[in-house]
Amino acid sequence: MYPTGQQISFHATPLAVQDPSKMMLVDPKETNGGGISQAEFALFTSNRIQSDLEAMGIKLKQHEDSLKFLKAQKNKLDESILDLQVHMSKLHQSGTPRSESNDTSLQGEDITEQILRHANSAAGVLSHVQSRHSSQASQLNSIKGVVGVVAKLGKVNDENLSQVLSDYLGTRSMLALVCKDYNSVKGLESYDSHGKIDRNGGLHGLGSSIGRTIEGHFDAISLENLRPYIGQYIAGDPQRRLNLLKPKLPNGEYPPGFLGFAVNLIQIDPAYLLCVTSYGYGLRETLFYSLFSRLQVYKTRADMISALPCISDGAVSLDGGILRTGGILTLGSSDEGNVRFAKPTASQTMNNFSEAERQMKELRQKKEKTLEDIKRAQVLRDHAVYNFGKKKDEFVRFLAQSSSTNMSQ
């Protein structure tokens, strides 16, 4: 097929680069019958180099995508480490994590006493029955599907945060009854033929049996009917905190004093983290996401106000500042008699701190491995860029030589 005495070698690997200036070109008048012309050979060489460039370009894109993915993974790990550092700092502030402390803040029993002070509320009646007649309470159909009172379903490490979240929600929401589904809500109250409340049925009948009358309105929440959070969770977090996008100021920086989202600063009993609803959701992504959404928490009012450009779903500060959705500021002093969230016990705090240390070690190991992967990916990408540039230069030289040869004919 080729002219006698002329051997042309083609390399299959795209890494091999031939200098077109050293290639033997055949005079179109000397094809020796059956040989290829110079134009045909030029076309063949051009197609081969372009094919090599295309394959190398695809390989380069793969390396760049891999590098981009690894860098994004590293950024996520950085954010998780930062979140965990903030969490561990709060555990330190809430008391000595490695020993029992003389903490006088509210514990679970104190919260029950606070609720019982609201004797004629639905939560007061429920808590009275559960604390005084716990064995019978579990058998009562009217309260069988009740998970609990909002105030008792979460705990907060910081006393100031507990107070401001209580002020934000208000007593009515803190005393709301949380039920598994709408049928459980219906069991709390029944009506006569005229639509009036039957005082002998549901929770009202239970109140009457202990000499209490439920006064005014009360809220009942059906977990099944809440719109849950749909998204990712913080990797490796046993509390299944939500992986929410941190706020950023117009200049791209994080606002100073930002401590996190209220929904993630609530500590939930492990029994309520999963499968509280038939769809498998827990209390964080249903109840507390519904109550707080993306409510931001700041260290001071000044921090909160300076972060206004990046606040969409309200914010609170540890010194009592409250900014509601729509830009409404709540002024005045806190009502310290309000029902508040309890604080975890010293032993719970110690366990949480130990778990946080384990997570931190794991995250740092993952980050170290990711950094090594990034280095390897960077080397591969740089090598691919070099080979691509070399092949591109070969193609440019070939085109220049072909053009020169054509002009001289």
**Residue 405: pLDDT band with limits 50, 70, 90:** low
Average pLDDT across the chain, whole number: 81
Report whether pLDDT(409) > 90. Answer: no
Residue 346 vs residue 279, higher pLDDT: 279
Strand 296-298 versus strand 315-317 pairing type? parallel
Q: Kindly state the average pLDDT of the residues 330-349.
A: 77
- Could you give the 3-state DSSP secondary structure of residue 179? strand
Structure tokens at 388: 């691509």
Collect all residues with Cβ–Cβ distance below 8 Å to 320 and sequence separation of at least 6.
Answer: 160, 163, 164, 167, 301, 333, 334
44-53, 99-108, 318-327, 360-369: range with lowest mean pLDDT: 99-108
Q: Would you state the pLDDT for residue 121? A: 93
DSSP 147: E
Q: Which of 32-46, 232-246, 305-319 has the highest mean pLDDT?
A: 305-319
Structure tokens at 138: 């579990």
Q: How far apart are CA 353 and CA 327, in angstroms?
A: 36
Q: Would you state the pLDDT for residue 392? A: 81
DSSP 98: T
Q: Would you state the pLDDT for residue 109? A: 58
Please, what is the end-to-end C-alpha distance for the chain in angstroms?
24
pLDDT in tens, 128-140: 888 876 656 666 7
Q: Would you state the pLDDT for residue 228? A: 94
Q: Would you state the pLDDT for residue 316? A: 97
Q: Would you state the pLDDT for residue 145? A: 87
A 10 A CB-CB count for 359 gives 21
Q: Would you state the pLDDT for residue 17? A: 45
Q: Which of 222-236, 306-320, 338-352 has the highest mean pLDDT?
A: 306-320
Q: Would you state the pLDDT for residue 103? A: 45
Residue 318 vs residue 1, higher pLDDT: 318
pLDDT in tens, 51-110: 888 888 888 888 889 888 988 888 888 877 777 777 666 655 555 443 444 444 455 558
pLDDT in tens, 286-303: 999 999 999 999 999 999
Q: Would you state the pLDDT for residue 87? A: 67
Percent of residues, the chain, with pLDDT higher than 90 = 35
Report whether pLDDT(388) > 80. Answer: yes
Query: Does residue 314 come out as left (phi exceeding 0), alpha (psi in the -120 to 50 range) or beta?
Result: left
User: Within the chain, how many helices (H) and strands (E) appear?
Assistant: 11, 8
pLDDT in tens, 160-213: 999 999 999 999 999 999 999 999 999 899 998 889 998 888 899 888 888 889
DSSP 225: G
- In this structure, what are the phi and psi dihedrals at residue 368, rounded to the nearest 5 degrees? -60, -45
Q: How many residues does the chain have?
A: 409
pTM of the model as a whole: 0.66
**Residue 4: pLDDT band with limits 50, 70, 90:** very low
